[in-house]
A and B are shown apart, each in its own frame.
Chain A
Amino acid sequence: EPEVTQTPSHQVTQMGQEVILRCVPISNHLYFYWYRQILGQKVEFLVSFYNNEISEKSEIFDDQFSVERPDGSNFTLKIRSTKLEDSAMYFCASSGTADFYNEQFFGPGTRLTVL
């Protein structure tokens, strides 16, 4: 069964450093998403991406964040200058077609720890 993959599984970084989280969505999917979950809190939407541009973003997704689909398979989330409060699990998701009710498939997540 096709699945979303994410690398690395755990990233440790120093405050102020740039990090790039990588995702490989399901190959024929068209919509891509990033969510995050701070330990013990809710899963929060960050950004959605379609047709090589951002389609929606939350207030969390400020200028420190950016997304990119550098080739036909990868989808990345970059945090330019990490803060302690960026420590969280980051989940990538993808969904299939333009149909509204296509379920989103989530990856296993990347645990980001900012020291």
Chain B
Amino acid sequence: DAKTTQPPSMDCAEGRAANLPCNHSTISGNEYVYWYRQIHSQGPQYIIHGLKNNETNEMASLIITEDRKSSTLILPHATLRDTAVYYCIVRSQTGANNLFFGTGTRLTVIP
């Protein structure tokens, strides 16, 4: 599975959009980009995933660059409850089904 690089921490004002970047320059053609988050030692929570098209669901949007070497998770209107560690994970379509978590980005939403 390709390695990912994320900034260790970010702040965002409540009500503003939070844009969390992830670099995955060694991603291969059959690897998906997944985002999970972990709120204060709770179990990780799935957010969204994509292959090459931008994706949106009720939680977030995922923007993947055309060369697929980086992506951005967007929380359109961050709330205090979005304070968490956000993990960008790249998974092979043919590899094992388990997730490999990095150190993620600690997002702090500020009132």
A: residues with CB less than 8 A from B are 4, 31, 33, 35, 37, 42-45, 48, 55-56, 58, 89, 91, 93, 95, 100-101, 103-109
Contact A31 B97 (CB under 8 A): yes
Q: What residues of B have a CB within 8 angstroms of the CB of A91 in the complex? A: 43-44
6 interchain residue pairs of minimum CB distance: A106-B43, A103-B46, A43-B101, A45-B98, A56-B96, A91-B43
Chain A residues within 8 Å of B44, by CB: 43, 91, 93, 104, 106
Report the nearest B residue to A43, measured CB to CB: B101
Residues of A within 8 A of B96 (CB): 48, 55-56
Contact A109 B98 (CB under 8 A): no
- 1/0 per position for B1-45, CB-CB distance to A under 8 A? 000000000000000000000000000000010100010011111
Give the size of the chain B interface in residues (CB under 8 angstroms): 21
A101 surroundings in chain B (CB, below 8 A): 32, 49
Residues of A within 8 A of B32 (CB): 100-101
Instruction: Decide: B46 and A104 in contact? CB cutoff 8 A.
Output: yes
Q: How far is the CB of B97 from chain A (nearest CB, A)?
A: 6
Contact A33 B98 (CB under 8 A): yes
Q: For the complex, give the distance between the alpha carbons of A106 and B99 in Å.
A: 12
Contacts of A43 in B (CB 8 A): 38, 44, 87, 99, 101
Question: Which A residues touch B98, using CB under 8 A?
Answer: 33, 45, 48, 56, 58
The reply to whether B102 and A109 contact each other, CB–CB distance below 8 Å, is no
Interface string of B88-111 (1 = CB under 8 A from A): 000101001111111100000000
- Neighbouring A residues of B97 by C-beta, 8 Å: 31, 48, 55-56, 95, 100
Given the known inter-chain contacts A100-B93, A101-B49, please indicate yes or no for A109 contacting B99, CB distance below 8 A. no
Looking at A91, A93, A95, A103, the one whose CB has the most chain B CB atoms below 10 A away is: A103
Q: Given known contacts A42-B103, A43-B38, what 19 new A-B pairs fall within 8 Å (CB)?
A: A4-B43, A43-B87, A45-B99, A55-B96, A56-B96, A58-B98, A89-B41, A91-B43, A95-B97, A100-B93, A100-B97, A101-B49, A103-B46, A103-B49, A104-B46, A106-B45, A107-B43, A109-B41, A109-B42
